[in-house]
């Protein structure tokens, strides 16, 4: 069962609404948690909903992306959560823009937030919702991921985030084997 959901992003106004913050942007679309009383701890913001076996921890690491694992490790240790109970929501350079997918483990695609989590947990066997941002046609990857969405991308962005948020909520209380591995394609 999914017991902790981690939304990756970077703190600071200069990163707000950038491709690398797709995880945080997804979190902000989830009405069930958007207006709850988030707390500060574990080098991030967190929220607990439900109780007993139904309790789910939502975590937004507020370290920079490349140190996300510090926040995740602290929360995992505190709440005694197993790696197979973790779902990480993040941007994915290796997926085309508008493609959303669920996967367990797999390659990290050079994602520094995922690398940090793997370094702190010692495994990549956690679950992921990948929000495709595509690769840049030209220019650096670093500038691309920390850049804002283009006007053309913004046309579909709200629907992409809404579908991503719905997929996150569909994962709650489920055995990850029950979660569909089909891909949701918003933009052809």
Domain spans of the chain, in order of start: 4-185
Coil, helix or strand at residue 48: strand
Task: Name the nearest CA neighbour of 45 among 66, 75, 78.
Answer: 75
CB-based contact 59:75 (threshold 8 Å): yes
- Mean local confidence (pLDDT), 159-181: 86
Task: Name the nearest CA neighbour of 74 among 59, 85, 64.
Answer: 59
Count of Cβ atoms closer than 10 Å to residue 30 Cβ: 20
Coil, helix or strand at residue 125: coil
Annotation marks residue 138 as catalytic: no
Fold of 4-185: Rossmann fold (3.40.50)
**Backbone phi and psi for residue 78, each to the nearest 5 degrees, phi listed first:** -65, -45
pLDDT at 35: 81
Confidence band of 16 (pLDDT split at 50, 70, 90):
very high
Q: How far is CA 149 from the centre of its chain?
A: 17
| Residue 94: Cβ-neighbour burial (10 angstroms; 0-12, 13-18, 19+) | middle
- Tokens matching residue 41: 């701890």
Please tell me which residue in 20, 90, 111, 127 is annotated as part of the active site.
20
Whether the predicted pLDDT of 29 surpasses 90: yes
State pLDDT tens for residues 52-61: 878 999 999 9
Whether the predicted pLDDT of 42 surpasses 90: yes
CB-based contact 59:43 (threshold 8 Å): no
State pLDDT tens for residues 66-96: 999 999 999 999 999 999 999 999 999 999 9
């Amino acid at each position: 069962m999914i017991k902790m959901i981690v939304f990756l992003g970077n703190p600071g106004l200069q990163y707000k609404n950038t491709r690398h913050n797709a995880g945080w942007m997804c979190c902000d679309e989830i009405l069930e948690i958007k207006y709850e009383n988030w707390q500060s701890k574990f080098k991030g913001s967190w929220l607990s909903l439900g109780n007993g076996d139904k309790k789910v921890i939502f975590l937004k690491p507020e370290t920079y992306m490349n140190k996300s694992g510090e926040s995740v490790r602290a929360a995992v240790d505190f709440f005694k959560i197993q790696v197979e109970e973790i779902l990480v929501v993040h941007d994915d350079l290796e997926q085309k823009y508008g493609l959303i997918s669920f996967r367990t483990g797999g390659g990290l695609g050079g994602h520094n937030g995922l690398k940090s989590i793997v370094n702190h947990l010692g495994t990549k066997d956690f679950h992921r919702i990948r929000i495709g941002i595509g690769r840049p046609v030209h220019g650096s990857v670093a500038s691309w991921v920390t850049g804002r969405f283009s006007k053309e991308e913004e046309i579909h962005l709200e629907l992409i985030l809404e579908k991503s948020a719905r997929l996150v909520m569909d994962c709650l209380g489920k055995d990850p084997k029950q979660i569909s591995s089909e891909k949701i394609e918003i933009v052809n």
